Amino acid sequence: MHFVHESLPQRVRFAPGDAARGVEAEIDRLRASRVMVIAAEAEAALADRVTSGLPTVLRHADVVMHVPVEVAQRAREAALANDVDVIVSVGGGSTTGLAKAVAMTTALPIVAVPTTYAGSEATAVWGLTEDGRKTTGVDPAVLPRAVVYDATLLRSLPTDLAVASGLNALAHCVDSLWAPLADPINAVLAAEGARALHEGLPLVARDGAGLPGIELALYGAHLAAKAFASAGSGLHHKICHVLGGRYNLPHAQTHAIVLPYVLAFNAPNAPGAEARLAAAFASPTAVGGLSALCRALDAPRSLSDLGLTEAEAEAAVDDVLVVVPESNPTPVTTENLTALLRAAWAGKDVS
């Protein structure tokens, strides 16, 4: 075995029903006294529950998916004008993403309270969009210092979004098994993450407010994000990044749709990943296990359902080809990638 693994420095609290106290304790640890709360309008009620006891000097609700640079700039200016010394973000990946954009230029610490399964809170990856092009990068300054997971905050997530977001988390597990910095430690995190998501998401789909399912899925999503943070982006993330950037597609749904096709594409040449995922899904094969899960969750099926045309899906091929990691188990060609995208566009059965 010959590898280098980096674990990111971060405190993590799981505190169902107790986020307010958890965040307060983290703010005290940071000796902070001027809080900027970032939460989108739709997340305001959740943020109230978490932050009412904090010394808040600024509430910021100007959150837009994929963090347009002008949105980031406004938030940075507001943080500086109010002399804040900590950011508390309460929301999904878009909200966490805006907090990261502020931390990037101000070095302010972030205490993140996630309300979806996106997992951005556990990575040092930032993303910004300018003129329709999304740029991402890695910067230790954007990694939240602390994360407080409170399953009760996800009870209000609409079931279709919870399912898509949970499959976005599962995509982190799957892709990290063959991403450029895949290693045995990531693989353990990914496999346990996949197991927990496979067990938790059907419970969430049946009862969106049920805590046992949400708690399992949140735990799985955290492990998934840790594996992804260490392993980097594999073929799946490269495809979704290109599609999302070109066509402004909804993030979680795009991941949920594309994942089975990438797994079917790579599994025949990735026996280690196949074995781990099959075991995590308690299924004879990884692809069969994922297909059954997607059916049980009534997951989104096709890129055409997101409003994409077949020609648009195919037009993404060249952009993906230039960013495919060398580590990908199945050699990627124009022909097989076109076939993959056509299948995902049409929502063809995967076997």
Contact indicator for 323, 337 with CB cutoff of 8 Å: no
Crossing angle of helices 159-175 and 251-266, in 10° steps, is: 40
Among positions 47, 65, 99, 170, the unique one binding ligand NAD when judged by CB under 6 A = 65
Binding flags for ligand NAD, 149-178, as an x/- string (CB under 6 A):
----xx-xx---x---x-------------
Residues paired with 345 in a beta bridge? none
Stretch of 47-55, 91-99, 293-301, 322-330 contacting ligand NAD, by CB under 6 A? 91-99
Cβ distance to ligand NAD smaller for residue 153 or 190 = 153
Q: How far is the CB of 49 from ligand NAD (least distance, A)?
A: 11
Q: How far is the CB of 80 from ligand NAD (least distance, A)?
A: 23
Residue 106: C-alpha distances to residues 24, 40, 76, 125, 331 (Å): 22, 21, 7, 16, 42
Residue 256: CB atoms within 10 A of its CB come to 25
> How many CA atoms are closer than 13 Å to the CA of 224, on its beta-carbon side?
29
Count of residues for the chain?
351
Stretch of 77-85, 90-98, 290-298, 340-348 contacting ligand NAD, by CB under 6 A? 90-98
Footprint of ligand NAD on 269-328 (CB under 6 A): none
Among positions 10, 51, 89, 94, the unique one binding ligand NAD when judged by CB under 6 A = 94
Stretch of 121-129, 197-205, 271-279, 311-319 contacting ligand NAD, by CB under 6 A? 121-129
Cβ distance to ligand NAD smaller for residue 22 or 91 = 91
Asked if 227 is part of the footprint of ligand NAD (rule: CB under 6 A), the reply reads no
Residues paired with 147 in a beta bridge? 12, 112
Binders of ligand NAD: how many residues, by CB under 6 A?
28
Among positions 95, 176, 233, 328, the unique one binding ligand NAD when judged by CB under 6 A = 95
User: Distance between CA atoms of 55 and 59, rounded to whole angstroms?
Assistant: 11
Residue with tokens 């346990």: 192
Structure tokens at 24: 């307060």
Footprint of ligand NAD on 15-44 (CB under 6 A): 40, 42-43
Cβ distance to ligand NAD smaller for residue 168 or 266 = 168
Among positions 120, 186, 233, 254, the unique one binding ligand NAD when judged by CB under 6 A = 120
Q: How far is the CB of 331 from ligand NAD (least distance, A)?
A: 27
Contact indicator for 36, 61 with CB cutoff of 8 Å: no
What kind and span of H or E run contains 340? helix 334-346
What kind and span of H or E run contains 149? strand 146-149
Nearest one of 79, 78, 36, 31 to 57, comparing CA atoms: 36
Stretch of 29-37, 148-156, 275-283, 318-326 contacting ligand NAD, by CB under 6 A? 148-156
Phi, psi of 90 (to 5 degrees): -125, 105
Stretch of 8-16, 92-100, 143-151, 185-193 contacting ligand NAD, by CB under 6 A? 92-100
Residue 312: CB atoms within 10 A of its CB come to 17
Contact indicator for 176, 268 with CB cutoff of 8 Å: no
- List of residues contacting ligand NAD (CB under 6 A): 40, 42-43, 46, 65-66, 91-95, 97, 115-116, 118-120, 123, 125, 127, 153-154, 156-157, 161, 165, 251-252
